[in-house]
Amino acid sequence: MNRINLIIILLFFVLIPISLFSKTFSDTTITVELELFIPSNGVLFLNDLDLTNISNAPVLFSITITNNDTDLKKIQLELGVRRNEQDIIKGMTYPFTIQPGVTYLTNRDLGMNPDFSYTDINLGELEEIVYATGKLPEGQYEFFVRILLNKLSIDEDIETLTISNPPTVLDLLSPGQPAENINLMEIYTTLPFFLWHSNASKYRITICEKLPTNSSPADVMNNEPRMQATIESLTFFPYPSSGVRALQPGKTYYWQIVAITESSDGPVELESEIWGFKISNLTGGTFSMEHQQILAYLTSFFGDKGLADLFEPGGELEGYTFTGTMFNNGKPITQEDLNAIIEKIISKHITIDEYFVE
């Protein structure tokens, strides 16, 4: 009986400190939350991560520290960037005091604080690329921040960022040809279907009319745009049949695409070359807006010359015009259905092996 009492007494003394410790730790818990303001799939410049030279840096991230205790706490922050589980940039603050409640900091706050300093910069295999371009190469990066209390890590938050960098490919495909050509290709629609190839995800298209006073393609592109639009995720653009200034038969137009990538310093833009085309003097009353829209789609697949051969005298479609009804495998489809099919053709999910006229 005495032995049983002794065991109970020992358990009592063991459990008391554990219970008290748990309560104390709960009362003094300090948490940290990291939020990134860097655009995903964008560009990140190495200089923007230099917290010792913050005068012109944008706000890249914020750190929210919550002190759930009623007392002041002296903490340190460790923060950095890693890739493939290897730290490439890491910094540490000197100890500083936080009030009870919430403390909100940004990278600019840390950079303007003399108590912050880098403790490690190790770019490793990225060093040559980073110092040559000033940007972190494409890939996934982890931004992390942790709180140290009495040199012990008590909380951490991690955010993942994907960097894509500016597009390296931007080629115009249709309509027309490079604007330096003296005799520009004629097209047979006032509703062209613009098509290009690129690895970007956002674009700005500008279309300008060539005037007698213009001396160069660049001069033409300085004219008031006939139309300008921003396009996301697509590499084609059908000229609208309403809501914009119509293109005119017999006129020459130049166009250009600008690929846009967001970065920590704002948008980064890549300009394409300038292309041009002339709209043929369409005759007769058969060229309705719908007819010309279909011509534009056909041009994007078969080329301007191939399309002209079909509709010119002696061509298989001489004298034909669009009836207003479209079919896919014998079933009527809408303009939206056609656009979805065209997008699949452009993205190579559908391939055209051959075409014929029935």
Do 28-163 and 170-346 have matching folds?
Answer: yes
The SS3 of residue 264 is: coil
For residue 306, the model assigns a pLDDT of 64
First to last CA, the chain: 105
**Domain covering 28-163 in this structure, CATH number:** 2.60.40.10
* 171-210: pLDDT as tens digits: 998 888 999 888 888 887 888 889 898 878 789 999 999 9
Residue 246: pLDDT over 70: yes
pTM metric for this prediction: 0.54
The SS3 of residue 132 is: helix
Residue 312: pLDDT over 60: yes
Residue 23 binned pLDDT confidence (cut-offs 50, 70, 90): very low
Q: How many residues does the chain have?
A: 358
Q: What number is the average pLDDT over the span 303-324?
A: 70
CA distance 281 to 188: 8
Q: What percent of the chain has pLDDT over 90?
A: 24
Residue 272: pLDDT over 70: yes
Question: What residues contact 169, with CB distance under 8 A and at least 6 apart?
Answer: 197, 198, 199
Residue 12: pLDDT over 60: no
List C-alpha distances in Å: 338 to 212, 215, 238, 343, 344.
38, 40, 12, 9, 10
List C-alpha distances in Å: 65 to 61, 110, 114, 311.
13, 13, 19, 70
- Alpha helices per DSSP H over 140-238: 217-220
Q: What number is the average pLDDT over the span 297-322?
A: 69
Residue 275: pLDDT over 90: yes
Q: Which of 25-34, 218-227, 300-309 has the lowest mean pLDDT?
A: 300-309
For residue 291, the model assigns a pLDDT of 65
* 72-130: pLDDT as tens digits: 999 988 888 888 888 888 878 888 888 999 999 888 887 676 665 555 556 666 777 77
Domain boundaries, the chain: 28-163, 170-346
For residue 25, the model assigns a pLDDT of 38
For residue 56, the model assigns a pLDDT of 64
CA distance 1 to 116: 63
For residue 336, the model assigns a pLDDT of 67
Residue 261: pLDDT over 50: yes
For residue 285, the model assigns a pLDDT of 46
CATH class, 170-346 region: mainly beta
CA distance 308 to 317: 10
